[in-house]
Structure 1
Amino acid sequence: MPADTTLPAAVTIREVGPRDGFQNEPERIATADKVRLIEALARTGLQRIEVASFVRPDVLPQLDDGVAVLQAIDVPDDVHLSVLVPNQRGLDRALELRDRFHEICLFLSASETHNRRNVNSAVDDSLAAIERMLPQVHAAGLRCQAVVATAFGCPYEGVVPGERTLEIAGRLAAAGADEVGFGDTTGMANPLQVRAFFAAARQALPNVELTAHFHNTRGQGLANVLAALEAGCTSFESSFGELGGCPVPAGATGNIASEDLVSMLHEMGIETGVSLPALLDATRDVQRVLGRPLGSHVLVAGPIEWATA
């Protein structure tokens, strides 16, 4: 770590497993199981959880019970729930349940090819649609996160210049996004790239919350977290058990595991507000529901228990 780097004392974590994690599972997960798992996560100390998607059911049938989930879950008042919305139609459906969540996530890709394959739209058209939708989100009294996918690289086009990603992010911030997230959608980022990018992003976007969303596709997820921390990023997204992945390209495996992220941050003296034992209990329940081992390292090894004299 550079000698002049000071790590933040605390970070915030948004748990995206109930949406991003479950969307890639081959089997359908019962609504009652989803509700129980979200409620368990909401009692670990996590204060931000992404719980549902308003993508068309035929596109993501694993999440077609989002309305039922939102209507059933009971979480503490200080836990903020978010939903993913792909377009105007999805936003209209989401706003019918505006009293059941706090934040809406709108998204697009930095890569033209990925955006067309993911949402069947040109990047400029997606940007224009988000710029139209953002005022509606705020008018409904909701917070808005805008996410730029393939922010660090595209499986179809290769390198995505950081300047291109920041140009898109700048338009999102100018349109009123409360938060801009940067997704390493297929795990192509490396720590040097991440550190330089977030240093530039903090300079270019001083008045908006910046969030890092890393995938562990090639085993570099937590290294990228450290690089983002060194650049001053204090907001991260992760998924229990390392579940998730982009459904478009082949081989796009899961997000960084929430329990691995929390364990590393706590060992480094960075506060998250999350109880690691409670988070591990919730992840074990996910593992039982899915009936297979999950990819989290801490789930296998357990938290570090330092010996005392």
Structure 2
Amino acid sequence: MIVAGASVQGTAHLAGGQGCQDAFKAVDLGGTAVLAVSDGAGSRDRSALGAHIAVDAACRLLAERIPDAEEPPEAWTRWVAGRGGRVVEEYLRAVAGVLGAGALRAEAGAPGTGAGATGTDVGPGAEGLDADTRAADTGTLADTRAADPSPLTDTRAADPSTLAATLTAAVVAPPWVAFVSLGDGFGTLLTRDDRCHLVLPPPAAPAPFLSSPGAALRVRTFAVWEPDLAGVVLSTDGCAALALDHPAVHQLPPEAGPLPAAGFFLGLAATLRENHGDAEPLRRRLSGPEAGRTGDDLTVLCALVEGG
């Protein structure tokens, strides 16, 4: 499995002196990979930290007890549905720990909290595949993992919405891909016949955050069986202008909805296969003038099946 990703500060954030509020993390399990991207709410004070907590919680839970590829669809559907609600619960517990035991330290100006790097990537030579240790304060995140999973009522001491973030995650276990999503990220499948399919489109209406009331009941979860799977790409909504086509580009009516830009996804896959997962070309693409049209942060994370 080739796993690579990059996160780039949006031009609007750069102009306003605001750090990158996206986060991503991947866990490479050999023939299986767990991917997660998150977009922090730009209007909230510590949303970047919330995004890093989100991807950490998602990867930790989704890497556990993954069904075998031979198991029936019902097993995959049931497993990912159960994990979806638990990801929200784990996120809220981690946030409660930060706001309870570690909030004063974070608010006092601990280095790196609330600000991401202008360009974070994962590729050969990276320390594992955990981007949160490179774009945020590792001490704060260590507190998140080590904090006592106190009751959610501990959040009365501080407002959890200050760490508001979305989540788009996937478990890639060919021929299966299982998705967990709450927010406006999107997911695309690549197949061996050089086609791309937007199986997780951005929502048509504004999406809630992981910290929103009733978030666990609004998580989208589903599993896809694709025998010709070649890769999976997750993106935050800032990448929509770069990675998605308006249906008119393909002579389709508006109700057809956005479609994956084949040139972007297939070109990305070809480049990463040629350079064995070096994410630098992806980071440059996300930093280019075409990508900066929205002004938002941009994050792309992918897993490519070897030989796919």
Q: Shared topology, TM-score over 0.5?
A: no
When normalised by structure 2's length, the TM-score is 0.30
